[in-house]
């Protein structure tokens, strides 16, 4: 608990750098900020300005290069004990039900089975998921999956709830609905607040979201990330998007951010940087093998029957199917797995043609655009594996980063999107694969 008015969490002159002597990248510079009891704090800024890096340092997921991090006025060692985090990518276990996914948060709390069950059910009630306790993530919409993520974070009984771009993966209407529910939860008074929740911090790049939810808005600038201005939000409750006070605050923040971008034109590149997404830990050959099984059975199969013809456990079969979907080689309506037209063209192409198609599909995925951009901006167009891992970890902190980087390198090398030296452990830009004039994939 906070002592003598001390902040729940606080950074003092925190700087974060990634890299080595050849490629050192300053991500945060001299960030000082405290999170007080009874406030919703929004960290507002363009993508790539270091908002998520700041959050990771604040809660102990990332050790700053210099500076100090405090919890309740004392130096923070390890993970902050009073914090739960809601991530933008849901991070649900596909083999667990809604109730089981939420119950994961109770591990290590020493609660009895009945106490745990009651807490989980209360969280399900708070986020409006009654009736879906036994549903699996694949049966849920994006908004419902994020409700599970919020319920799981609340089940831990945090004093500080951290939300890292929690609505960015949702369509605009679902995001607005869930945003309003979070607003009602916090502004509804102590009777509606679950457990010991004292404060909320939300990472966002949407000005209207910050104005709608926050009591205090911290505007961050880029290159490197720094606090540009802290504004107390005086828009009265209940907040309406079209009210004069709301619009005045939106315009004020817009002017601040616009001036920052004019002053630092290099931020345009940072704002446009792709946001990585999780990649299933499977190999291109596994995707190809599953596609060939499908082709041998008419191009469409029930996923359970398909699983019987592989050597994988069911969870890994689903991962291979997911990878195929991301590459647009497969589709999975209901329980069916279907070869797409792009998938059929990939199977029909020769070796070089397949690489061309694979590369073209990789270039559509944000994770590979992100890695390419890192390499394009690096000195000599090469970068150590460690730096790439750090950059991915900042943006996908719930993922198994060693597995992710291994998959990214495997896919990227196969498609000749970039190269990798295992001896030096460095990634580097590669030349595009040449395409024979008679390649069957030329019009993909």
Crossing angle, helix 284-296 and helix 314-326, to 10 degrees? 90
In 3D space, the residue among 374, 386, 389 whose CA is nearest the CA of residue 429 turns out to be 374
In 3D space, the residue among 77, 56, 74 whose CA is nearest the CA of residue 14 turns out to be 56
On the 0-12 / 13-18 / 19+ scale of CB atoms within 10 A, 142 is middle
What is the reported pLDDT for 218?
93
| Beta strand spans in 168-283 (E) | 199-204, 216-221, 226-232
Beta-carbon neighbour count of residue 243 at 10 Å?
13
Tokens of 283: 């190999």
| Beta strand spans in 234-386 (E) | 300-302, 330-331, 336-339, 382-384
The backbone torsions φ and ψ at residue 225, rounded to the nearest 5 degrees and listed phi first, read -60, 135
The backbone torsions φ and ψ at residue 93, rounded to the nearest 5 degrees and listed phi first, read -85, 115
Please state, in angstroms and as integers, the Cα–Cα distance from residue 190 to each residue in 57, 108, 157, 194, following that order: 29, 26, 14, 8
Residue 107 contacts residue 146 (beta carbons within 8 Å): no
What is the reported pLDDT for 31?
92
DSSP 106: G
Residues of the chain with pLDDT under 50: 189-191, 193, 262-272, 432-444
Residue 201 contacts residue 162 (beta carbons within 8 Å): yes
Q: Name the strands in the sheet holding 216-221, side by side, starting at the edge strand that comes first in the sequence.
A: 83-86, 160-164, 199-204, 40-44, 216-221, 226-232
- CB neighbours of 296 closer than 8 A, spacing ≥ 6? none
Residue 56 contacts residue 398 (beta carbons within 8 Å): no
Computed from CA positions of residues 200, 80, 150, 52, in that sequence, does the dihedral angle turn out positive or negative? positive
For residue 155, the Cα-to-chain-centroid distance in whole angstroms is: 20
């Amino acid at each position: 608990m906070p002592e003598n008015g001390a902040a729940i969490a606080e950074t003092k002159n925190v700087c974060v750098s990634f890299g080595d002597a050849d490629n050192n990248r300053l991500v945060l510079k001299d960030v000082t900020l405290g999170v007080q009891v009874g406030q919703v704090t929004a960290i507002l800024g363009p993508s790539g300005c270091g908002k998520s890096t700041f959050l990771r340092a604040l809660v102990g997921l990332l050790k700053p290069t210099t500076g100090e991090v405090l919890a309740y006025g004392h130096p923070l060692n390890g993970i902050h004990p009073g914090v739960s985090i809601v991530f933008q990518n849901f991070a649900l276990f596909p083999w667990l039900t809604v109730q089981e996914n939420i119950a994961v948060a109770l591990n290590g709390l020493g609660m009895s089975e009945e106490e745990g069950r009651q807490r989980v059910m209360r969280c399900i009630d708070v986020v409006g998921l009654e009736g879906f306790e036994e549903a699996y993530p694949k049966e849920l919409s994006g908004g419902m999956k994020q409700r599970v993520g919020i319920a799981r974070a609340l089940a831990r009984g945090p004093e500080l709830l951290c939300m890292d771009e929690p609505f960015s993966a949702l369509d605009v209407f679902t995001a607005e609905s869930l945003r309003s529910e979070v607003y009602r939860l916090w502004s509804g008074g102590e009777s509606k607040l679950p457990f010991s929740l004292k404060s909320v911090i939300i990472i966002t790049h949407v000005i209207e979201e910050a104005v709608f939810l926050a009591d205090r808005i911290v505007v961050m600038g880029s290159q490197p990330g720094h606090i540009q201005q802290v504004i107390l939000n005086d828009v009265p409750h209940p907040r309406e998007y079209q009210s004069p006070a709301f619009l005045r605050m939106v315009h004020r923040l817009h002017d601040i951010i616009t001036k920052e971008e004019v002053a630092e034109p290099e931020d345009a590149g940072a704002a446009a940087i792709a946001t990585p997404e999780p990649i299933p830990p499977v190999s291109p050959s596994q995707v190809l093998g599953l596609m060939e099984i499908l082709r041998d059975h008419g191009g469409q199969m029930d996923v359970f029957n398909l699983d019987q013809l592989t050597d994988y456990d069911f969870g890994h079969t689903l991962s291979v199917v997911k990878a195929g979907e991301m590459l647009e080689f497969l589709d999975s309506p209901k329980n069916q797995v279907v070869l797409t037209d792009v998938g059929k063209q990939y199977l029909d192409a020769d070796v070089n043609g397949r690489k061309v198609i694979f590369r073209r599909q990789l270039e559509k995925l944000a994770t590979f655009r992100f890695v390419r951009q890192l390499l394009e901006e690096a000195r000599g167009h090469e970068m150590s594996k460690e730096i790439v891992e750090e950059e991915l970890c900042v943006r996908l902190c719930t993922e198994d980063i060693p597995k992710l980087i291994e998959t990214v390198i495997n896919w990227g090398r196969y498609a000749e999107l970039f190269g990798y030296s295992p001896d030096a452990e460095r990634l580097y830009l590669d030349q595009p694969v040449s395409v024979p004039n008679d390649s069957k994939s030329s019009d993909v």
